[in-house]
Amino acid sequence: MTLTPDQMLAANKANLETLAGLTSKAFAGVEQLIDLNMSAAKAALNDAQHQTESLMSVRDAQELLAVQAQMFQPLAEKAAAYNRQLFDIAQHTGGQIGQVVEGQVGQAQAAVEALVKNLTQNAPAGTEAASQALKAAVAAGNTALSSVQKAVHQANEMMQANMTQMAQAVPSAAKARPAAKKR
């Protein structure tokens, strides 16, 4: 089975379109990351200014401890929110890229299976054992790829659950910490 020049051109064009789509999705993710970091930097500068003003108005040690305690809770909550947004951007971008890759893998698997079918149907007499070995190798490769895809999906789900737990735990832990210091 040989490819015609038109088939090769179409395949190359499809690959370039896929690459352009993937590049676009990656740049969109980077753009979101830059926006997140710019917002975080602006908020940090604003917070630093307010905290400096608060510290400059402190008159005694008791007031200093109160001002410090008030600073830690919002900082922990903002850090958790930043990490959550960062994870969301990475997950969304990775998910979009993963969908494209899975689609391409599916197409490649179908093409390989069609090629193997064509080869085995047109194989000369006496090559049945080799044809069966080729079919078994392709089936084993597909099974291994499927297992890897399942493992990646499970790891992604576990990471999502961990991020959700962390996002819920950090604010409550930050609130509990200043209360423990007051005792």
Sequence spans of domains, the chain: 5-182
From first to last of its 183 residues, what are the pLDDT tens digits of the chain? 566 788 778 888 888 888 898 899 999 999 999 999 999 999 999 999 998 998 899 899 999 888 888 888 788 888 888 988 998 898 899 888 888 888 887 887 787 788 778 878 877 888 888 888 888 888 888 888 788 878 877 887 887 787 777 767 766 665 665 444 443
Helix (H) or strand (E) holding 3: none
End-to-end CA distance of the chain: 81
Q: Has this prediction a pTM greater than 0.95?
A: no
Best CA proximity match to 177, nearest among 61, 71, 80, 73: 73
Distant-in-sequence contacts of 59-68, Cβ < 8 A, 24+ apart:
65/181
Query: If you search the block for the tokens 């900082």, which residue do you land on?
Result: 75
pLDDT value, residue 106: 80
Cβ contacts of residue 173 below 8 Å, gap of 6+?
76
- H runs (alpha helix) in the chain: 5-56, 61-121, 128-182
Q: Which two tokens stand for residue 33?
A: 């990351």
Q: Which two tokens stand for residue 99?
A: 């969908």
